[in-house]
Chain A
Amino acid sequence: MRQAAVSVGLLAFLSGCNRHQSALATFGAEAEGIRTITIALVVGAVFIIAIMVGIYWRAVRAPEGQLTHKQGMRLVLWLGGIGPTILLTVILIFALPAMRPRVTAPGDLTIHVEGEQFWWRVGYERPGGGVLVAANEVRVPVGRTVAFELTGRDVIHSFWIPGLAGKMDMIPGRTNSLVARADKPGRYRGVCTEFCGLSHALMAFDVIAMEPAAFYAWLADQSRPAAGARQGQGAQLFAANGCGGCHAIRGTEHDARIGPDLSRYGDRLTLGAGILPPTIERTADFIRAPQDAKPGVRMPAYPQLSHQEARAIAVYLKGLK
């Protein structure tokens, strides 16, 4: 019974283990540096604790008078003063290089990310000029230096891709810079790490690290409007219900900047900023009652839409690719 309880307790620690969102499962150089420091510190701390326990164990068993007053004071000086100072200096010198931001060159990719309750506005600076606006998904080329320019729209958020780099606050009225380099292609996840409101825990995003050629092809492809952006019953319902008052879809008259850009919704890997599978049914449910999935969401509910109408809009959105 006790063994079972201990096992269940230990299992809780494993819940943090996954390869998509973990500072220990790294895919970037910055996170790798942090991981190395973490492991060195933990191993070192265990080692020091073992030494201290050993000294303590000896000390309480040694007969009185084993050390003279002078020897005792010398022990305190070395183990309590000089030793820790040397150790801390070594750790400081070991850890400091990780705090030095990666150097950026003029041609490096810049990605602007704005945190809003409770989603992410993402803007990729195109090589030829201009910015591609997207949402809730960050794509990065592998092996290239990427500069993230981070800010907040409403309250303070924090941008963290655990496998890529350390976290960085997104503060309204201020732009913070985070420079990183992904080293391993794959699909990962980032999160908001500054409490920003009711759905703070439901504010995540997908991260896709791609080979540079594939990334730049994707960037060029995303810039053209999706096929079928103007056709069908869904497009009519989208316009008639005022969805375009907040959302933009390239190639249509909808160019609002209040809510997430939906130009390529059909390509998205998740719905609602990294929390739901982007199926037609879930999308239709989200349109009618977004607060069911995200408490405190800024998007109004559309209960007046019939299920068929919401579904038609979802089919239209899913077709945007």
Chain B
Amino acid sequence: MKRGLPGWAQRLRVTLWTLIVPPATWAVHFLFAYLWAAINCAKVGRFATFPTLFVAGTVAALLVILASGWIAWQQSRVPGDPAPHEESTDIDRLRFLAKSTLLLSGLSFVAVIFTALPVVFIGDCR
């Protein structure tokens, strides 16, 4: 454990609710992509060359996921009980939830990018 890591991230309360933050962000971004494309096509009829609002929304989603992943990464390194970290103690529960959140963050990060790429590339209302 490196000294000087921000302790606040490790002290945050962890529940099943924080576990679903990354996939929930992915889901909201997915909905955002559909709504943005639909409203854009209905109101403007075509996509802008640089879709500012869409890029901003995507960056915001990625930042939320990154932050969630970073906190999870900090928490998954909380020192405590010995490996293999599978006892029903507070510290092992924290490490399990943190590790799961970290993996979900990775998946959600890639998924948001894969959702955003078609919108940027196709950019056509037909």
Binding site for B on A (CB under 8 A): 81, 85, 88-89, 92-93, 96-97, 99-101, 177, 179
Contacts and interface: CB of A to CB of B under 8 A. Distances in A.
Interface residues of B, number: 11
Contacts of A96: 117-118, 121-122
B57 interface: no
Interface of B: 106, 110, 113-114, 117-118, 121-124, 126
A4 B92 CA distance: 63
B40 to A, nearest CB: 16
A100 B117 contact: no
A87 B112 CA distance: 16
Contacts, number: 28
Interface of B is mostly: helix
Nearest to A104: B126
Q: Which 4 A-B pairs have the closest CB atoms?
A: A96-B121, A100-B122, A177-B126, A101-B126
A100 B124 contact: yes
Contact of B121 (A85, A100, A177): A100
Contacts of B126: 101, 177, 179
A144 B87 CA distance: 69
A99 B113 contact: no
B49 to A, nearest CB: 14
A99 B122 contact: yes
Contacts of A89: 110, 113-114, 117
A92 B122 contact: no
A13 B108 CA distance: 41
A93 B122 contact: no
A309 to B, nearest CB: 49
A89 B121 CA distance: 13
Given A89-B113, A177-B126, A99 B106 contact: no
A85 B122 contact: no
Nearest to A100: B122
